[in-house]
Structure 1
Amino acid sequence: MGELQLRVTIPDGVEFADLRLSRDVGDGRVRFKMAPIEAICEASDLDLGEIMQGPQPLVGLLIAAWYAAHLERGGAPDPVQEDLMEETRLEEEHGGGFSYPPGHA
């Protein structure tokens, strides 16, 4: 099974910071503005629904790849994306996530 390659076009005027990445305090869910994702999908001729809701949503991969390109071009680090990358690294290093059963945290 090969590595998935997703080629996207970042339209002029769309910056990584436009995502306004944040996390919910309660459940840790990642939040972001949809306008930049919509603009990228339109410029790249990608199906927004598939990117967001497909059997394996690709929006996380799209954001991670965009962030890597953003940093390569001298863009400022994003604290939320940095946290997400660290969580992913730790999960891979330790064989997946860990969570207590409900009511036992």
Structure 2
Amino acid sequence: MEQRQARVVIPDHLSFTDLRLKRPETGKIEFEWDVVKQICESSEGLPIEHLENGLEDNVVGLILGWYLVIRENGGEADPVPEELLAEVMENEAESASRDDESGLT
């Protein structure tokens, strides 16, 4: 599988809250695609098709990456991405545990 390097640029006029990120009772993640499109247009090597038509993990990765940068720079916590991060960490821990049990490295 081919991996691509992208240089993600968040336009100065955008803020994380512009995503209007939410997660209703269905568990599905909802956000403003227009914000993601603007990020793709400002970035190098980040085609919108990769996010729109690819795995949900692709766009979630972009959103959580942006959020982590904000948090690292002293930004306020947001419950939706915090919940998503906790789930990602839990899934990674479970995957690592399964790999350890199977003897895979």
Q: TM-score, normalised by structure 2?
A: 0.76
- CA distance change for structure 1 residues 54 and 66 in 2, over 3 Å: closer, same or farther? same
Q: 1:6 matched to which residue of 2?
A: 6
1:31 aligns with 2:6: no
Give percent identity, aligned residues only.
38
SS at match of 1:49: helix
Extract unaligned runs of 5+ from structure 2.
97-105
Q: Number of residues paired by the alignment? A: 95
Query: Any residues of structure 2 matched to 1:1-105 within 5 Å, and which?
Result: 5-25=5-25, 27-45=26-44, 46-54=46-54, 58-95=58-95
SS at match of 2:95: coil
Q: CA deviation at 1:4?
A: 6.2
Give the residue type in structure 2 aligned to 1:11: P
Q: CA deviation at 1:33?
A: 0.9
Q: TM-score, normalised by structure 1?
A: 0.76
Higher helix share: 2
* Coordinate RMSD, CA, aligned: 2.5
